Amino acid sequence: MAQVAVAQQRGWLGRFVEDLNGRYHRAALWTFMVVVIAHWAEHLVQAFQIWALGMERPESRGVLGLVFPWLVSSEALHYGYAIVMLAGLLLLRPGFTGRARTWWDIALVIQFWHHLEHALLLGQAVVGANLFGQPVPTSIAQVVIPRVELHLLYNALVFIPMVIAMIHHVHPSPEERHSVSCTCASATRRELAPAGAGH
C-alpha cells in the first residue's frame, strides 16, 4: 500500500523516467544512439561534400539537405535537434553510475553549451539581427571556427564521451556492477538470465 502511495506521488513523469532508466534503459539508449549517429552522419556527409567532392559550402547540405534544402538553413530545426540531444542526455542520465556517469555528464555539459550556441543562432534568426555584423546568424565559437568544422567538433566532443560512458555502462567494473540499476550491463544480463539460457 505504501509503495502505491509513493508511486502516485511521483506522478507519471517520475514513473516514466524510472522506467526509462530501468527496464527500458537499453532500448532507450540504443534508440537515442541511432538518432545521434544519423545526425553525425549528416555532418560527415556534408564534410565529405566540401572536402572530397569540392562542393561550395552553401551547396553542401548533407543527404537530407539535398532533398529538403531549407533544412540546412533552418535555425529552428538545428535548435530543435540540440534540445532533443540535451533532453536525451538528461532523461537517460539517472541510469548511469560510477565512471559511466562521469563520462555521460561530460557529454551533457558540452551539449548544454552547444545548445546555448544554437539558441543564440535561433535568436538572431528570429530577431533578424546577426552578431558581429555578420551576414548570417553567428555563434560565439563560430567567430574563430567556421560553422561546418565547428559543428563537426561539437558533435565529436559530445559523441566521444557518450560512447565511453556507454562502454563503462555496458561493461562496468566489478566494483561498480552492484550499482547498475538496469539490464544494460552484459554481466548483469548474464546474471539475470535463467540457467541454461543462451547469451
Distances (CA, A) of 102 to 9, 40, 129: 30, 22, 39
Q: Say how many C-beta atoms besides its own lie within 10 A of residue 30's C-beta.
A: 11
| 79-138 pLDDT, tens digit each | 999 999 999 999 999 999 999 999 999 999 999 999 999 999 999 999 999 998 899 999
Domain ranges of the chain: 2-192
185, 116 contact by CB (below 8 A): no
Residue 64: pLDDT band (50, 70, 90) is confident
**Cα(83)–Cα(130) distance, integer angstroms:** 22
Lowest mean pLDDT segment, chosen from 19-33, 55-69, 153-167: 55-69
92, 21 contact by CB (below 8 A): yes
Cell numbers at residue 154, please? 561539437
Work out the mean pLDDT of the chain and round it to a whole number.
Answer: 86
